[in-house]
Amino acid sequence: VQLQASGGGYVQVGGSLGLSCAASGGTFSRYGMGWFRQAPGKEREFVAAINRGGGTTYYADSVKGRFTIFRDNAKNTVYLQMNILSPDDTAVYYCAAEASGDSRYATLGASRMYDYWGQGTQVTVSS
């Protein structure tokens, strides 16, 4: 499956931004989906994940209450709505697809469990 992330850009502190990740070449509804991010000089970290049916979601503590992950299986797209952004949210954001169907956090929260990755989209929050 191919993943194409979009929606990144520049935003001021306290602003909002919405990311999209469109999937092609596979049956989208079979995949758990995740968003990860990597800031300069830091390791890639988990941001949010959603199981294949959309009924289970997970968030990193740093984004809980500010970010929302959701998906539209009819449109083969997963979204990440980001609100109340801070400079600490500046990073390249990646979407990823996990094929096992496991809805546990141990799977969807771990980057090593994902099978397919998008190319990343830059989010810059200016103060």
**Is the confidence at residue 42, as pLDDT, over 90?**
yes
Predicted pLDDT of residue 110: 97
* CA–CA separation, 127 and 105 (whole Å): 33
pLDDT of 29: 96
* Average pLDDT of the chain to the nearest whole number: 97
Quick check: 59 pLDDT over 90? Answer: yes
Confidence of residue 122 (pLDDT cuts 50, 70, 90): very high
Q: Which distant-in-sequence residues (6+ apart) come within 8 Å of 78 by Cβ?
A: 20, 21, 23, 33, 35, 50, 69, 70, 71, 72, 95
Report, as an integer, the average pLDDT of 115-121: 97
pLDDT (tens digit per residue) in 61-109:
999 999 999 999 999 999 999 999 999 999 999 999 999 999 999 999 9
Condensed to tens digits (0 to 9), the pLDDT of residues 11-35 reads 999 999 999 999 999 899 999 999 9
The secondary structure of 95-119, three-state, reads: EEEECCCCCCHHHHCCHHHCCEECC
Is the pLDDT assigned to residue 127 strictly greater than 90? no
User: Residue 7 pLDDT > 90, yes or no?
Assistant: yes
Asked whether 32 and 52 are in contact (CB, 8 A), the reply is yes
Please report, for residues 19, 52, 92, 112, the alpha-carbon distance to residue 83 in angstroms, rounded to integers and kept in the order given: 11, 24, 16, 27
